[in-house]
Copies of this chain bind each other. A is one copy, B any other.
């Protein structure tokens, strides 16, 4: 596979509005095909194309600029055919702001009963009905093209952040090769080139050498933004922040940086200081749905009887 370099301009503009004088933090406007987002930005997760327990109107009132949808779930239901019929998920779910879709790879790893990765792609058993499924870099982009989000993610070879040994390096190189296949497939879709962006995902575990190689290789592909993957999965905070800082040092200053799967308040603050612009996690919305309020004074379990007669604001 030849290295792919984008020959078309990406439909994304990143304007840095202010830089912090004491840290690597920055505030920016992120112009996407469907909406102008302000960063640093947390992107809540609408797994099945709806935000559980919140209407799209409520999301707008909460000043949410971009929501994330899960490729794996949408591929199963409503499926690619219906998504094509509706020309994407935006109209289907009545959301006229920005969207991002994951590649489906992470859900396979976390939800599938049986998962086998080889160079061609990932084979797995559906968590819904037990049927065999197969996801390749091309197939992931094909589905994401049908979903039509402003930002698509490459299919990567995900390994746990606590994995060590040769498997980490194998997954890193395979993620680079899969990025090229994703880019090639996407750029053959004339209709989508000017409507969707594709972000690479930096892999390499907790190994500084591998992360460096991965950053350098992916930067060569000249994408419009970059994600840091494979973190927030059981490693120490020190290791986590060290890898984030390494990546933000290496990644282009004039492009958005997305740290995947991060949603704890402390991590959002620290990673923003390290120069990250975008985050996603089910943690805040799931926690709220389960009756917990995240406040400046910590988390409150509002279902506790001590709050029964408490009428003070959160």
Interface residues of A (CB under 8 A from B): 55, 58, 78, 82, 85-86, 308-309, 311
Contacts and interface: CB of A to CB of B under 8 A. Distances in A.
A308 B81 CA distance: 10
A308 B78 CA distance: 9
How many of these chains are in the complex?
A: 2
8 contacts: A55-B55, A55-B58, A78-B308, A82-B308, A82-B309, A85-B308, A85-B309, A86-B311
A154 B86 CA distance: 52
Nearest to A308: B82
A30 to B, nearest CB: 30
A309 B311 CA distance: 47
Contacts of A308: 78, 82, 85
Contacts of A82: 308-309
Nearest to A309: B85
A268 B309 CA distance: 41
Contacts of A86: 311
A309 B78 CA distance: 11
A82 to B, nearest CB: 6
A40 to B, nearest CB: 29
A141 to B, nearest CB: 24
Contacts of A85: 308-309
Contacts of A78: 308
A77 to B, nearest CB: 11
A58 B54 CA distance: 12
A311 B308 CA distance: 45
A289 to B, nearest CB: 14
**Most chain-B CB neighbours within 10 Å: which of A85, A308, A311?**
A308
A58 B57 CA distance: 11
Contacts of A311: 86
A72 B308 CA distance: 20
A55 B55 CA distance: 9
A58 B309 CA distance: 27
List the 5 closest A-B pairs by CB distance, nearest first: A85-B309, A82-B308, A82-B309, A55-B55, A78-B308
Contacts of A309: 82, 85
A80 to B, nearest CB: 13
Nearest to A311: B86
A309 B58 CA distance: 27
